[in-house]
């Protein structure tokens, strides 16, 4: 029963992140939109690395490609790349403070946005690297909420 | 620790290869199009849920607005409607005159377009992909390539149609191009999207081209996809870059690309796709 509840929490968190990502935003605020889906993936990889690892990040990346209508494989690449860092550090990250984890999230999201822009520039799309830190700042600011929620789940289901 | 890192690196490399393989296939073939269509169809409920907060915001905005403000708004809209109806009468007179002149010249019959009102139900969250979903589909006679516009001008065209909804590619997407002409002198060009909701660019205009800042651009109708005469945008800036053969002409789209919620689907008289819902 407990495991059923645990999987429901994981699915609910992913659907919520997807819905938040899809809420229409004006062009002015779009660069400031946190990367909810990547945050939740990074969160599960940090707190439950034994259950949710690289394969999970790749699967959610594929889902993101289909939902965001981006070239198939782009988000698989990004999510695997970004998910691999907390996965490798997962044994230690759990003992860090929430501020340290927020800093890591900020760096990861900056890197992810930079990579995404670079990939789009390879396809010939005009890119603006000036917007890269904006989403990372907002993502790092809302991370403590996600961190707190996932830490609670982790303590219950470790 | 090292065992974990080496197996992780192996997994990462495998997934990278898969991802790059998928990107290559996506770039050069249409093999994934059926999967993408199926996904578009399946995720509609998620878009519907994501649209609830903005709808609630609108509803709360209307509920909290003072009655006197609504009355003022109503009065303004009535006055605007009166002005537009007056202008429409003038347009009708001009259209009739134009038709007579065309008949005199043995030219083709003047095309008259019909429209269907539609609502935006989802917007692509990626700043690089300018697409949106609307609540009309096959059942309403929507078809691939159909132009959509808002109250100010052309927005883009339909790229996928499903039973009850469709996906439109906006003019500002960097993969979109539209044949235009300058309203002042009829000069033709092509306006391309730049992945910026407030900017498009005119391509291949020589430094001697007769174009000025503020020039209005309308669809030229060349290519047969967009009907002629709909506002596309106005010239924002013109730059001559040294060493470049062509001018860099920036255009501000006439449509409120990232704000409009209610759009119009255009059915040209050539379509033959009108049904009872078309107004």
CB A139 within 8 A of CB A35: yes
Scanning B129-158 for CB atoms below 8 A from A yields 129, 131
Record the tokens describing residue A127, joined without a space.
Answer: 């890119």
Least confident piece of the model among A6-10, A74-78, A152-156, B168-172? A152-156
Q: Which of A35, A69, A75, A76 to mutate to test the interface with B (most CBs of B within 10 A)?
A: A69
Domain co-membership, B30 together with B122: no
Same domain, yes or no: B86 and B30: no
Which pTM does this prediction carry? 0.73
* Mean pLDDT, rounded, for A11-35: 89
Q: Residue A2's pLDDT is what?
A: 59
CA-based nearest residue to A106, from A74, A70, A147: A147
Q: Are residues B170 and B210 in the same domain?
A: yes
Question: Is there a domain that residue B109 lies in?
Answer: no
Task: Tell whether B97 and B120 lie within a shared domain.
Answer: no
The predicted pLDDT at position B106 comes to 59
Number of domains in chain B: 3
Q: B260, B253 in Cβ contact below 8 A?
A: no
* Chain A hits for B171, Cβ within 8 Å: none
pLDDT tens-digit readout, A19-29: 999 888 877 88
Note the pLDDT of residue B277.
42
Residue B73 lies in a domain: yes
Q: Which residues of chain B have pLDDT under 50?
A: 108-110, 273-279
Q: Which two tokens stand for residue A140?
A: 């790092």
CB-based contact B170:B260 (threshold 8 Å): no
Question: What is d(CA A84, CA A58) in angstroms, rounded to the nearest whole number?
Answer: 10
For residue B28, being part of any structural domain is answered with: yes
Q: Which of A19, A69, A72 sits opposite B124 (nearest CB)?
A: A69
Q: Is residue B187 part of a domain?
A: yes
What pLDDT is recorded for position B37? 83
Same domain, B74 and B124: no
**A58 with B18: Cβ contact below 8 A:** yes
Span B149-200, pLDDT tens digits:
888 889 999 998 888 889 999 999 988 999 999 988 889 999 999 888 889 9
* Same-domain pairing of B141 and B263: yes
Is residue B144 in some structural domain? yes
**Once rounded to an integer, what is the mean pLDDT over residues A54-72?**
91
Q: Are residues B91 and B155 located together in one domain of the fold?
A: no
Domain membership flag for residue B212? yes
Mean pLDDT, to the nearest integer, of A70-76? 90
Q: What domain range is B91 assigned to?
A: 65-104
pLDDT attached to residue B273: 47
How far apart are the C-alpha atoms of A121 and A119, rounded to whole Å? 5
Quote the pLDDT of residue B4.
Answer: 64
Tell me: do B125 and B260 sit in the same domain.
yes
Residue B279, domain member (yes or no): no
Q: Which helix (H) or strand (E) holds A132?
A: helix A132-157
Q: What is the pLDDT of residue B278?
A: 42
Same domain, B143 and B258: yes
């Amino acid at each position: 029963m407990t495991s059923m509840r645990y999987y429901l929490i994981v699915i609910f968190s992913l659907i919520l992140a997807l819905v938040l990502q899809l809420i229409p935003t004006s062009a002015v605020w779009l660069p400031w939109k946190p990367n909810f889906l990547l945050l939740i993936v990074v969160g599960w990889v940090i707190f439950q690395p034994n259950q949710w690892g690289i394969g999970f990040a790749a699967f959610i990346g594929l889902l993101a490609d289909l939902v965001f209508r981006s070239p198939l494989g782009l988000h698989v690449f990004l999510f695997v790349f970004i998910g691999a860092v907390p996965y490798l550090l997962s044994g230690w990250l759990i003992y860090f403070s929430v501020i340290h984890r927020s800093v890591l999230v900020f760096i990861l999201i900056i890197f992810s946005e930079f990579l995404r822009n670079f990939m789009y520039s390879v396809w010939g799309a005009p890119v603006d690297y000036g917007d890269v830190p904006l989403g990372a700042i907002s993502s790092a600011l809302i991370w403590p909420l996600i961190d707190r929620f996932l830490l609670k789940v982790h303590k219950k289901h470790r | 620790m090292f065992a974990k890192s080496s197996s992780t690196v192996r997994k990462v490399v495998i997934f990278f290869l898969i991802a790059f393989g998928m990107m290559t296939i996506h770039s050069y073939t249409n093999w994934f199009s059926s999967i993408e269509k199926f996904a578009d169809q399946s995720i509609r409920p998620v878009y519907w849920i994501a649209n609830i907060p903005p709808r609630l915001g609108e509803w709360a905005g209307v509920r909290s607005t003072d009655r006197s403000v609504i009355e003022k708004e109503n009065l303004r809209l009535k006055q605007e409607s009166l002005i537009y109806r007056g202008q429409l009468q003038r347009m009708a007179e001009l259209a009739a005159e134009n038709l007579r002149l065309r008949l005199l010249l043995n030219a083709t019959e003047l095309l008259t377009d019909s429209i269907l009102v539609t609502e935006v139900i989802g917007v692509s969250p990626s700043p690089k992909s300018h697409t949106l979903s609307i609540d009309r589909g096959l059942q309403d006679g929507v078809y691939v390539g159909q132009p959509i516009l808002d109250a100010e001008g052309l927005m883009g065209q339909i790229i996928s149609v499903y039973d009850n909804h469709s996906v439109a590619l906006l003019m500002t997407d960097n993969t979109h191009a539209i044949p235009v002409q300058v309203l002042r002198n009829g000069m033709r060009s092509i306006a391309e999207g730049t992945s910026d909701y407030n900017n498009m660019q005119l391509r291949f205009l020589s430094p001697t081209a007769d174009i000025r800042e503020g020039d209005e651009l309308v669809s030229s109708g060349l290519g047969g996809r967009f009907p002629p005469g709909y506002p596309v945008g106005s010239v924002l800036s013109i730059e001559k870059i040294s060493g470049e053969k062509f001018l860099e002409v920036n255009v501000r789209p006439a449509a409120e690309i990232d704000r409009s919620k209610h759009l119009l689907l255009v059915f040209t008289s050539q379509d033959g796709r009108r049904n009872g819902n078309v107004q």
